[in-house]
Amino acid sequence: MLLDTRSRGRRVALAGIVGGWIDGCARSGFDAVEPDNLDSWTRSRGVLHRADAIDFARLLTARAHARGLAGAQTNAADLSARGPSIGFDFAVAEECQVYDECGAYAAAYGRRVIEIEYADQGLRFFVAACRLRGGRASIIDRELARPGTAGYV
């Protein structure tokens, strides 16, 4: 399912709905939000557009900042250079090792990148990410486990 962000009116209406969720995160004591699917235009078969996604993201990051929350860019690595001007404070980079996108996030956000490498893609990507950026980035596996428990890597 994709959100229809093609018109200003639709973006504002959707931002009102998602904004309620953002407000709930602020009330619950969260530090940040991660509005996902910024890259929906890439899966819409030409229905949605990059510029509309950027405008929608600006509405969401403004709402987050107004509530005292940071906003994270998720995916759409090709937009990373514009991420801070959109209003994103950091990035959550899913499988950037797999897709060779980690450099784009690092160039835009420096050390403010949380990298998630999914073990179901093969442990080799997680291991490579840790070897290459372990001292500069927060790298986690989707299946979070505490040290000393089953599944911890």
CATH code, residues 8-140 = 3.20.20.80
pTM: 0.85
Q: Is the pLDDT of residue 146 over 70?
A: yes
Nearest CA to 70 out of 33, 43, 107 is that of: 33
Q: How many CB atoms are closer than 10 A to CB 148?
A: 6
Residue 153: the pLDDT is: 65
At 118-127, the pLDDT tens digits run 877 778 887 7
- Provide the token pair at 22: 């953002």
Domain ranges of the chain: 8-140
Q: Is the pLDDT of residue 143 over 80?
A: no
- Share above pLDDT 90 across residues of the chain, in percent, rounded to a whole number: 61
